[in-house]
Amino acid sequence: MPKNLRSYSTTISVFALMLVIGAYALLHSPFFLVQNIHASGSSYTTTQLAKIAGIEIGTSLLKLNVELAESYLEEEPIIYRAIVRRHLPGTVVIEVEERTPIAAVPNGLEFWGVAADGTVLGPLNMAGISLPIITGADPKELVIGRKNLSELVMGASILQGLAQGMRDQISEVNVESRDGLRLICRNLVQFYLGGPGQMQEKLQIVAAFLPKLGQAAPQSGAFVDVSNPNRPVVRK
């Protein structure tokens, strides 16, 4: 090989080696390593969220699987949605949207929270909390994180169909019988909903009646049958 060609080849090799070394040094510099983790929207601490997501200080940002981290976070019953983002230099941002209880369900001597989508959230401290109670669900079927218990999904959807001001007047949703669903107000007025059909129309009738019955004395025991929303009936 001619001398000048060997010299050129050596130069190229050295240059390539320097590029590799430079790239390696850059990728392992603090610029591309997780140095800071920021979190928002969660009742968990940043440290707890990072542990759940499997993110550690010193992890390569380029190797961080954000989709996997998000899936780990969303396995937590209280976390409805999680977004994990990389930000240079050396930062990971975790944004969380949490489920909040819309109702409580009795489980032995405890009450467990139920989210708007029917997810079981686990034990609640009921001190100072005034949530409607969903009755009629089998306590043996209650598992933290479960989302498909039909009684709770039904009860939560009924409550979700009422505006917050109306929901605050409900003390109990009884879902023991799928064809005999009932709402019981805090003043003991009962609404008989019947089956799940035409539920939106039935709840519109409930919302129309609630202000009128809001001042009814508890001993009146009013019973409003809205199982046929076209022909609601008020009884005592």
- Given 98, 114, 130, the domain boundary residue is 98
Same-domain status, 114 and 53: no
Average pLDDT, the chain: 85
pTM: 0.78
CATH of the domain at 59: 3.10.20.310
Structural domain count, the chain = 3
Distance (Å, rounded) from C-alpha 73 to C-alpha 35?
A: 20
CATH of the domain at 194: 3.40.50.10960
Distance (Å, rounded) from C-alpha 5 to C-alpha 55?
A: 49
Distance (Å, rounded) from C-alpha 220 to C-alpha 94?
A: 53
Distance (Å, rounded) from C-alpha 32 to C-alpha 22?
A: 13
The per-residue pLDDT for range 55-97, each reduced to its tens digit, is 999 888 888 999 999 999 999 999 999 999 998 889 999 999 9
Other C-beta atoms lying within 10 Å of the C-beta of residue 78: 19
Q: Which residue has the higher pLDDT, 32 or 87?
A: 87
Other C-beta atoms lying within 10 Å of the C-beta of residue 29: 11
Distance (Å, rounded) from C-alpha 172 to C-alpha 170?
A: 6
In this structure, of 69-78, 117-126, 208-217, 222-231, the range with the lowest mean pLDDT score is: 208-217
Domain of residue 134 covers: 101-235
Angle at CA of residue 196, ends 230 and 161, nearest 5° = 85
